[in-house]
A = this chain, B = another copy of it.
Amino acid sequence: MATFFSVVSGEIKMPFRMMSSTFCKFLSPIRSRTSFARSTVRVSTAGPGGINPTSLGVAPYKNRSMLPSFSLFSRTCSTQSTTAYFAPPTLKRKEALLDDYGFKLNDVKMDDIKVDIDNKQLLVSWTNGKTQIYPFVWLRDNCRCSECFHPEALNRLIQLHQIDVDVVAKSVDISPNGKTLTIHWEGDGHQSQFPSNWLLLYRFEDSHDDRLLNPKVQFWGSDVDFRRFDFGDLLADDGALYDWLTELVTLGIAVVKDAPRELGQLQKLAARVAFIRPFVYGLTCHVKSPNPNPLHSAYTTVPMAMHTDIAYYMREAGIVMLHCIQEAEGTDGESLISDGFKVALDLKRADPEAFQLLSKYQFEFFDTGREDHGEFHTHARHKTIKLDDRGEIEAVAFSDHSRDAMLRVPVNKVLPIYRALSKFYDMLLASENCLKYKLKAGEIMTLNNQRALHGRSAFQGSRHLEVGYMEWDEVNSRIRVLAKNLQNQP
């Protein structure tokens, strides 16, 4: 009989040589080598040999019967290793989510289960008296045994067309301690196990939302007390990096101070997250004014109306970073910045019709020229205020200087749309909303480019900014990783 390993009561039995960084991935919420050292999980050797975990999810999929060790593994895996197959919220986040439901993480217990054959679903009652429903097809689809889910790649192996959507359980059991649900399936005799706390975290009704995809934000006006982060700290300290990125999620504005007054600093900052998002201008654009051959009005000394950057992209930038290398003399050339979410909500209250028009119709934007990647001609369209399926504001996008004349709306809507836009603009510029801030050399203004609008006043003489972008996908990824590694922040 092949050697196997099992997980019981937080103790993992396996050959020590398997404790590679890849195998550590199994252990949740501690999945990287670094984090593993902080864990309390004990590891010991089971038997003289060991199977290679890499092959776990692979071979049995192709020929289950040839590898009895596999079935053994999948049948003996306990709740803890099953949980480990997910990419879960961080430990603290899990604790908070279950606390809301009246449970401690390690205290979630099933009290009773009922099978509802007619509706092909399972009803789970918890010891706190509440109940949740789990459709059988969802349970079968999310079996985390190593035949169905690659334990190392953390990818689903079973394909949708291999699942009977009308599947029901042959038998269902809960363990005596109420912490493990075991299902024997009709048909192929497959068996799945689910830990109680995982079931509760993944409940259907009133399930928790992803806090980075639907973040709670703080609105602000011209008196915003934004935070200032030291450039050197951000390069060296994960805690500072986490604070800066979460500040961009929450407030959408922060200043990085004491950066070297030379090109190339944005790339260093972005490398701490992932990378600069390239665009047709290259990795960054160099807003050096006055420019004798301005490709864009940003390269002149004229005032710039409030805007979000690169609206001429369908995929507008997530985060804009404006690095001031040389500031304009005197007080000229101030940055003007407003919280587009706050102003849009104000508009909704003050003039619901205007809000509705700006969240329904699209303006078009374009840009042309020749830069690092050659000649370009970008063209995009955006609603000024973008709502998600719940009707909540998820982005603002507008740029007067790159707005095209083409307006594909019913002609009788044109005047109302201009009225609405004009009202929104006046509110963005109102003294209670519009922050005026003169960037100093060595400072990097960082903004949520899908929320904060920025502009500038006119100036005389020279001024030099380097401007670059990052995307929320990579920023959110970095936040999740940092949260996990930094003492399991929520």
Contact = CB atoms under 8 A, between A and B. Distances in A.
A32 B138 CA distance: 58
Contacts of A135: 411, 414-415, 418
A305 to B, nearest CB: 4
A153 B294 contact: yes
Given A150-B294, A293-B54, A378 B414 contact: no
A213 interface: yes
Contact of A32 (B375, B404, B421): B375
Contacts of A87: 366-368, 377, 379, 404
B405 A142 contact: yes
Contacts of A474: 279-280, 373, 376
Interface string A397-414: 000111111111111101
A435 to B, nearest CB: 17
Interface in A339-397: 362, 364, 366-368, 370, 373-381, 389
Q: Max chain B CB contacts within 10 Å: which of A21, A367, A368, A477?
A: A477
Interface in A17-34: 20-22, 25, 31-32
Given A375-B32, A472-B314, A61 B302 contact: yes
Contacts of A58: 290, 300-302
A426 interface: yes
Nearest to A313: B473
Given A305-B160, A411-B205, A473-B314, A481 B133 contact: no
Nearest to A426: B161
Contacts of A381: 210, 213
Given A473-B378, A477-B377, A161 B422 contact: yes
Interface string A445-487: 0000000000000100000000000011110111011001100
A86 interface: yes
A421 B161 CA distance: 9
Contacts of A155: 296-297, 401-402
A303 interface: yes
A418 B165 contact: yes
A295 interface: yes
A42 interface: no
Ranked nearest first, the 6 interchain pairs of A and B with the lowest CB-CB distance are A204-B411, A155-B297, A377-B480, A155-B401, A159-B305, A135-B414
Interface of A: 20-22, 25, 31-32, 54, 57-58, 61-62, 86-87, 119-121, 133-135, 137-138, 141-142, 150, 152-157, 159-161, 163, 165, 202, 204-205, 207, 209-210, 212-213, 271, 274-275, 277-280, 290, 292-297, 299-303, 305, 313-315, 362, 364, 366-368, 370, 373-381, 389, 400-412, 414-415, 418-419, 421-422, 425-426, 429, 458, 471-474, 476-478, 480-481, 484-485
19 contacts: A25-B368, A31-B368, A32-B370, A58-B301, A86-B405, A87-B379, A121-B411, A133-B411, A150-B297, A154-B368, A155-B296, A160-B421, A204-B410, A213-B380, A274-B280, A278-B278, A375-B481, A377-B480, A377-B484
